[in-house]
Structure 1
Amino acid sequence: MFLHRETNTLYVADTNNRRIQMFTLNSRSSTGVTVASNIDSMSGIYVDDDGSTMYVALRYENRVEKWIKNALNGEQIGDQCKQCTGVWVDKEKNVYMTESGTHSILKWSPTTNTKITVAGQTDELGQTADKLYFPRSIYINRLNDALYVADMMNNRIQKWNKNSQEGITIAGSKDGISGYNDSKLASPFHVWIDEESDVVYIADSENNRIQRWLPNELTGTTIAGGAERGNANNQLSLPNSLAFDNLGNLYVCDGHNHRIQMFVLIENQTCPTSRSHPLFTK
């Protein structure tokens, strides 16, 4: 799932239906428009600023594809990306790819057509600061080029400053152990950053909740879900993606419930309460 804030449009990887659906949030309709189809094993989407180009991570196809608006097929970029589970683009149009199969993050330059490793050690999993263990989603802060990684099997979120050789644990476990209390995460799938405040939001998948983590804090706060796994409006089932619109409303891809949930953050408080309703369902 990707929320294109410039146009207030939501893009959803409808994986089992092998298509990408677009929902205009300015409309009250919950009917989507298919903007790409016949795509296998989608695991991440990024939509460029002008809305005309999509980048799609294809996990079991081991690649990222670039889709131009109205195209019938995508074009592979950046050569192979083993078990590719995440994709993001920086302000220079470099494409970052999560190569989960080698426990590393790659950066591909469209200018030079070269690819380098920018986080993790290729084919070396581990819990130390220089390593990752089956990473999932990534996020680039365009204000400072910091790279954030949902380091799933290490149950943590890592921040890699530009040109750094090591990551910093900013949320979750420092020992790789999962947990359900406020200081722990369990298989975090997705990370989203408020770029100005550095507040981190996490799809804490196995805990069926969305966590909010302030800078330099040792614990997070649950802002959605967390009421055990289920399909009620206050429950989630293996959430795998999240995003905020320009009004501060939270959108969650509620994976095993086959729906997108919108959580209205009441009064947009610093530590908000929330109420939810299903926005789009399968």
Structure 2
Amino acid sequence: MLYVADNNNNRIQVFSLNQSSNIGTTVVSFVAGPQRIYVDTDGNEPTLYVTAVYPYCVLKYVKGASVSVKIGDSLFGCSGISIDNEKNIYVVASYLHIVQKYSPLTNSTTIIAGQRGVINSTSKHLNTPEGIYLDQTSGAIYVADTYNARIQKWLKDAQEGITVAGSSEGFGGGDAASLLGPKDVFVDKETNVVYIIDSFNNRIQRYLPNATKGDTIAGGFGR
């Protein structure tokens, strides 16, 4: 099944990949500006976690429930989201320039990347990050540090990030070694290949392990 955050229509759509029809089914309605979705399939029925522009939080939807459960508060620019095996929720607050971890067990929130309200290009900071990928085995997170034009890897409990793609100094560009406005990141857990939505360069970049340059696998500058 393919779940889609239909932002302008304020809904979540699901499409079957095994059918020829391109008509989706609305599974969540009246959600204000859905940004990202995480689908937890660890159970009899999928549970949806949706980041929303308003009310600046994560909304949890359990199948059959009449209302959503609100998680977090004042997550301005609520964007990328992931969940670990212990059901801790990792969420990007873009306009606060941080990644937060929410523990449902203790009902506590911890900043695990960036500094709240601080924009900078040092290894300890982020600038309007958007996407996130969580390594379920090591606990490391990969952050699309959008306006620093880079992908940062934060090891578990680290105090600063490591640049794995783009410029460590936050300079963007359109060549193979650069990124410009990366929006999201995915890591193949079998090969450790990093895939990046390089938004302002209109392309998808692939970085092999330890590579300093990416290769374009879709799109291209100005296309």
Q: 1:86 deviation in Å?
A: 1.4
Query: What secondary structure does 1:195 align onto?
Result: coil
Q: 1:172 matched to which residue of 2?
A: 166
Q: 1:196 deviation in Å?
A: 2.3
- What CA distance in whole angstroms lies between the structure 2 residues aligned with 1:60 and 1:117? 21
- What CA distance in whole angstroms lies between the structure 2 residues aligned with 1:55 and 1:148? 19
Aligned residue pair count: 221
- AA aligned to 1:81 is L
1:145 aligns with 2:142: no
Q: 1:10 matched to which residue of 2?
A: 2
Among 71, 80, 83, the alignment partner of 2:74 is 80
- What CA distance in whole angstroms lies between the structure 2 residues aligned with 1:201 and 1:98? 19
- AA aligned to 1:22 is V
Q: 1:60 deviation in Å?
A: 4.0
- What CA distance in whole angstroms lies between the structure 1 residues aligned with 2:73 and 2:107? 9
- What CA distance in whole angstroms lies between the structure 1 residues aligned with 2:221 and 2:152? 26
Tell whether the 8 Å contact from 2:119 to 2:126 is kept in structure 1 after alignment. yes
Among 18, 26, 30, the alignment partner of 2:18 is 26
Specify every segment of 5 or more residues in structure 2 that has no aligned partner in the other structure, as ranges.
none
- What CA distance in whole angstroms lies between the structure 2 residues aligned with 1:33 and 1:172? 38
- AA aligned to 1:68 is V
Q: 1:161 matched to which residue of 2?
A: 155
Query: What secondary structure does 1:16 align onto?
Result: helix
Tell whether the 8 Å contact from 2:201 to 2:221 is kept in structure 1 after alignment. no
- What CA distance in whole angstroms lies between the structure 2 residues aligned with 1:142 and 1:197? 15
- What CA distance in whole angstroms lies between the structure 1 residues aligned with 2:202 and 2:108? 38
Deviation string for 1:198-244 (max 9, x for gaps)? Answer: 11101111111110011211100101111633xxxxxxxxxxxxxxx
Q: 1:97 matched to which residue of 2?
A: 91
Q: 1:161 deviation in Å?
A: 0.7
Query: What secondary structure does 2:101 align onto?
Result: strand
- What CA distance in whole angstroms lies between the structure 2 residues aligned with 1:181 and 1:71? 48
In the TM superposition, structure 1's runs of 4+ consecutive aligned residues that sit over 4 Å from their partners are: none
Q: 1:135 matched to which residue of 2?
A: 129
Report sequence identity in percent.
Answer: 48
- What CA distance in whole angstroms lies between the structure 2 residues aligned with 1:38 and 1:24? 22
Tell whether the 8 Å contact from 1:61 to 1:83 is kept in structure 2 after alignment. no
Q: 1:23 deviation in Å?
A: 0.9
The root-mean-square deviation of aligned C-alpha atoms, in Å, is 1.3
- AA aligned to 2:160 is E
Deviation string for 1:162-221 (max 9, x for gaps)? Answer: 111110000111221111111111100111110122111011111111100112111001
Specify every segment of 5 or more residues in structure 1 that has no aligned partner in the other structure, as ranges.
1-8, 230-282
Q: 1:49 deviation in Å?
A: 2.2
Query: What secondary structure does 2:159 align onto?
Result: coil
- AA aligned to 2:80 is G
Q: Return closer, same or farther for 1:181/1:227 CA change in 2, 3 Å cut-off.
A: closer
Deviation string for 1:88-123 (max 9, x for gaps)? Answer: 101110001101121110000010100000001111
- What CA distance in whole angstroms lies between the structure 1 residues aligned with 2:27 and 2:72? 23
TM-score, normalisation: structure 2: 0.95
Among 37, 40, 62, the alignment partner of 2:29 is 37
TM-score, normalisation: structure 1: 0.76
Q: 1:193 matched to which residue of 2?
A: 187
- AA aligned to 1:99 is A
- AA aligned to 1:191 is V
